[in-house]
Amino acid sequence: MFAGSIVALVTPFCAGKIDYVALKKLVEFHISSGTDAILVCGSTGEGLLLSDVERDQVIAKTIEIANKRIPIIVGCSSCWTDDAIKLTSQAEKLGADGVLLIVPYYVKPTQNGIIEHFKTVHNSTNIPIIAYNNPGRCAIDMTIDTVAEIAKLPRVVGLKDSNTNLARVNFLKYQAPKLKLFSGDDPTLPGYLAHGGDGCISVTANIVPRLVKQLLTSWQNRDIDNMQKIANMLAPVSEAMFVEPNPIPVKYALSRMKLIDNELRLPLTMASDKTKRRLDLLLASIQH
């Protein structure tokens, strides 16, 4: 159902409020750049720093702007299963095409607890689910066996995996063949595809959506030389997006591209002068 280049979209702010003019600019930028789907309210979109009303508005407005030209996926991260059901139901009611559901963070559930979490949300809603494994943010790593068990649920259609062990991809393809597998770690995307991945849910695609899409297309066409050329161009961009906690660097870069204001919500703070200098040099050297 979902594949290719999916952007983990930032949420633009202006004077503390959602900037809907900038949001429209971003959605149109991605549609014209060939992005395959848009994820809103994820960690890059500061989804945990939005109120329920703001989430409702961001989701509804993005769906309205997209007008069925591109699928809209909603991040429904929560450490509490009941709250994840509420967020998933909200996305479903508003007409989203799917949700991204992360492993519950902070509480450190067992693998069985992770399975029961996904089962309960799945059985309480009626929308396609992409599972999200991010041990760096959640303190728990979803095992391959756990993914295979969750994949038995009819509407679990994909996995975003931020585990950097690329050998996992081969085992996941073998044990959960129905799932679309998405890289959640931009610097390792070329290797992830080579191991059998289907696409990415990307921070870097905020800045260079055409290049990310071209890399995926080159791989699909088995144009390895062009893929390698693009991968070499993307490597310093992807690295730079994580020199400070996401989305600090990407929001600064987008502000320099005149797409948004450089505004974040506490406890996120502005990029350091060192990071700004690095990004300024990088943006001057790449094609957007």
pTM, 2 dp: 0.96
Which token pair is 229?
């050329």
Rg over CA atoms, the chain: 18
CA-CA distance, 76 to 186, in Å (whole number)?
21
Q: In order of start, what are the domains of the chain with their CATH numbers?
A: 4-223 (3.20.20.70)
CA-CA distance, 136 to 130, in Å (whole number)?
18
**DSSP characters for 194-246?**
HTT--EEEESGGGT-HHHHHHHHHHHHTT-HHHHHHHHHHHHHHHHHTTSSST
Would you write out the chain's pLDDT as a tens digit for each of its 288 residues?
799 999 999 999 999 999 999 999 999 999 999 999 999 999 999 999 999 999 999 999 999 999 999 999 999 999 999 999 999 999 999 999 999 999 999 999 999 999 999 999 999 999 999 999 999 899 999 999 999 999 999 999 999 999 989 999 999 999 999 999 999 999 999 999 999 999 999 999 999 999 999 999 999 999 999 999 999 999 999 999 999 999 999 999 999 999 999 999 999 999 999 999 999 999 999 865
CA angle centred on 117, ends 159 and 101, rounded to 5°: 35
- Contact call for residues 8 and 202 (beta carbons, < 8 A): yes
- Contact call for residues 6 and 204 (beta carbons, < 8 A): no
What count of Cα atoms within 13 Å lies in the side-chain half-sphere of residue 73?
31
Q: Which of 126, 25, 113, 117 is nearest to 78 (CA)?
A: 117
pLDDT at position 286 is 84
Q: For residue 29, what is the DSSP state? A: H
CA angle centred on 89, ends 85 and 93, rounded to 5°: 180
pLDDT tens across 271-283, in order?
999 999 999 999 9
pLDDT at position 218 is 97
Strands in the chain per DSSP E: 4-8, 13-14, 17-18, 37-40, 72-75, 98-102, 129-133, 156-161, 180-183, 199-202
CA-CA distance, 178 to 72, in Å (whole number)?
21
Q: For residue 192, what is the DSSP state? A: H
pLDDT tens across 237-247, in order?
999 999 999 99
pLDDT at position 1 is 75
CA-CA distance, 104 to 79, in Å (whole number)?
4
CA-CA distance, 136 to 245, in Å (whole number)?
12
pLDDT at position 288 is 55
Q: For residue 152, what is the DSSP state? A: T
Q: Which of 3, 48, 32, 43 is nearest to 136 (CA)?
A: 43
pLDDT at position 44 is 98
Q: Which residues are catalytic?
A: 132, 160
